[in-house]
Amino acid sequence: MPHPILIIEDRAEIAARIRDAVTKHDDLEVVGSASTVSQGLELLGDLQPRVVLIDLGLPDGSGVDVIRAVAQADWDCDALVISIFGDEARVIEAIQAGAKGYVLKSGGLTSVCDDILAVIDGGSPISPSIARHLLTMVKRQAVSETAPEFELTGREIEILRAVAQGYKRREIGLQLDISTGTVGNHINSIYRKLNVGSNIQAVVQATKMGLL
């Protein structure tokens, strides 16, 4: 069965482009579309999608409210932000609320299906500018963290640096001449060692600890 996808986007032309892109993939199915926070929250519970594509600037509030609801869902459900907003405040608020990925509309929507599947596979697709922004923000923070109980290996740090630059698992595998599955195994090991649940959280935590 294809993975059910919910779109929350107030601009009709953007929502239509996302729907058209997702519909062309056999493993994905758009089960609903909303243009406001209230509509999105209602459809979230009714449709129980696997991934929710969320714009942040909605007519009746912020998409972050939907992200928080997704994070509290009692079924497998992840939030992927697709937004024109890439400023620090919005990015950090969305990530802290539980977004598993953050891509900018300015980067185009040609890879939206790959981004959705990456989230389902446990990844965290982020636009390169968002990745750099996160690193810059974290490095500015005067945060004192204790060293992790288990240190990351050289290969794990190498992979995490590639993740921080916005590369997807397949691209990292090609760069390092290893399989996508091996990249995934390393990333899962990173998650366990840093006690995090997504690529973005791993990059933030590793940067705070001085590992990147």
195 and 109 inside one domain: no
Q: Tens-of-pLDDT digits for all 212 residues of the chain?
A: 899 999 999 999 999 999 999 999 999 999 999 999 999 999 999 999 999 999 998 999 999 999 999 999 999 999 999 988 766 678 878 888 889 888 888 766 778 999 999 899 888 888 877 776 666 655 555 444 444 455 788 899 899 888 887 788 889 999 999 999 999 999 999 988 888 888 778 887 777 777 76
Residue 130 domain flag: no
Residue 131 domain flag: no
Residue 78 domain flag: yes
Residue 176 domain flag: yes
74 and 153 inside one domain: no
| pLDDT value of position 80 | 95
19 and 111 inside one domain: yes
Helix axes 180-194, 154-164, angle to 10 degrees: 100
| φ, ψ of residue 211 in degrees (nearest 5) | -85, -15
The domain of 155 spans: 137-208
Q: How far is the C-alpha of 198 from the C-alpha of 86, rounded, in Å?
A: 19
107 and 37 inside one domain: yes
Task: Judge if pTM exceeds 0.85.
Answer: no
116 and 146 inside one domain: no
| pLDDT value of position 142 | 40
Domain termination residue (choose one: 125, 149, 178): 125
Give how far Cα 127 sits from Cα of 154, 163, 179, Å: 25, 10, 23
Domain termination residue (choose one: 68, 96, 125): 125
118 and 145 inside one domain: no
42 and 96 inside one domain: yes
Q: How many CA atoms lie within 13 A of 85 on its CB side?
A: 17
Q: What's the total number of domains in the chain?
A: 2
Instruction: Supply the CATH number for residue 87's domain.
Output: 3.40.50.2300
Instruction: Supply the CATH number for residue 166's domain.
Output: 1.10.10.10
| pLDDT value of position 143 | 45
| pLDDT value of position 150 | 59
| pLDDT value of position 94 | 86
Residue 132 domain flag: no
17 and 71 inside one domain: yes
Closest among 104, 83, 189, 194 to 147, alpha carbons compared: 194
